[in-house]
Amino acid sequence: MRRRTSAAAVLAVAVVGGAIVSPMVAGQASANVLAAAPHVVVDRTVTSGLTSPWGLAFLPDGSALVSERDTGLVKRIPVAGGSSVVVGRVRGVVPQGEGGLLGIAVPPGPAPAFVFAYSTGARDNRVVRIAWDGSRLGRQTPILTGIPKNTYHDGGRLLVGPDSTLFVGTGDAGSPQLAQDRSSLAGKVLRITFDGRPAAGNPFPRSPVYTLGHRNVQGLAFDRAGRLWATEFGERDADELNLLQPGRNYGWPVHEGSADDSRYTNPAAQWSPTSTASPSGIAILGDVAYVASLRGQVLWQVPLDGAQARTPIALRLGDRGRLRTVAVAPDGSLWLITSNTDGRGSPRPNDDRILKLAVG
């Protein structure tokens, strides 16, 4: 049976100094939280007119690749912004519901020869490696297939790790029990090599599974100490920010949010109800995590104190609608993707767009 989140663990919110924080940190504690959080403002619109943008990854020259979920296109955004340029289409993408062309990642180095993408096809979700010549996508090679798919809960975030590894966030594909099944790729965070094999040092022998017990992971980011954090959609009780540790089980569908159960790892922070956040992408800049929220339509700012997460603060950046992805740009700014053309939002004129945020 799934256990509901206890009231004591819920991050209900209240307005303090123009931001939204938990009433559990009232008075001077609230002031301290706000004082420790950098000021964030919208600097400018980088580009607009995108269709269901999802993934974002920067190239060595500071330009960026963005994936469009429903078109299967990958577009390049110039460093200075402006009109996007199509650099290729990922073959075999079958967009349906939350599935389609999702995450994208670029390996490190001055001249990467390939990029990675996570896509939904006719039968499964998969990770593909795509040749990159510096200006166009080329040959496409599936490196990990058989990730269960559905019209929802397809996960999709990719993150390049150390030692030529790739982290992959997946969803439970609408079958919650798969999240607890170590033989399934659903409801997991996976860690693989650049050719798709289970990475050396994974917690389970000959398995790509890094962590399990997830409902739908759409955000992955490292902090500056190398710790891995993930955002996860809850069902109705609590969305989660998790500090990932190899081999740990994060509880879904037995628990949602925090629970007094030593078999499972509790979230570092959570939002309740899920309409408050529905967290997708995450980026970490300095000692602060930034979480893009879809239903919540705000950018959450979560100060980090080592392995601990402090009270989330809601940054209201104007009427931007649903927010899908946030990433740290090479110049130290944040790029933020809106998600109003995804079939669940209310598009504004010239949506969707990428915004540049100045962090001070």
SS3 assignment, position 8? helix
pLDDT by residue (tens digit) across 88-135? Answer: 999 999 999 999 999 999 999 999 999 999 999 999 999 999 999 999
Phi, psi of 275 (to 5 degrees): -65, -15
Beta bridge partners, 21, equal 14
What CATH number has the domain bearing residue 354?
A: 2.120.10.30
CA distance 201 to 240: 26
Locate 276 and state its tokens. Answer: 């408050």
2 domain residue, yes or no: no
User: At 315, which amino acid appears?
Assistant: L
285 domain residue, yes or no: yes
Can you tell me the mean pLDDT for 145-149?
98
Confidence of residue 37 (pLDDT cuts 50, 70, 90): confident
77 domain residue, yes or no: yes
Reported for 58-62, long-range contacts at CB under 8 A and 24+ positions apart, including other chains, are 58/106, 58/327, 58/329, 58/330, 59/106, 59/112, 60/109, 60/110, 60/111, 60/112, 62/329, 62/330, 62/331
320 domain residue, yes or no: yes
Smallest CA-to-CA distance from 26 within 330, 232, 311 is with 311
Residue positions counted in the chain: 360
Confidence of residue 24 (pLDDT cuts 50, 70, 90): very low
- 31 DSSP assignment: H
Smallest CA-to-CA distance from 173 within 145, 205, 150 is with 150
- 72 DSSP assignment: -
155 domain residue, yes or no: yes
CA angle 96, 101, 103 (to 5 degrees): 130
Inter-residue contact 103 to 126 (CB < 8 Å): no
323 domain residue, yes or no: yes
Query: How many domains, the chain?
Result: 1
Give pLDDT, residue 7: 33
Range(s) of the domain holding residue 131: 7-359
Residue pointed to by tokens 């628990």: 255
259 domain residue, yes or no: yes
pLDDT by residue (tens digit) across 225-272? Answer: 999 999 999 999 999 999 999 999 999 999 999 999 999 999 999 999
1 domain residue, yes or no: no
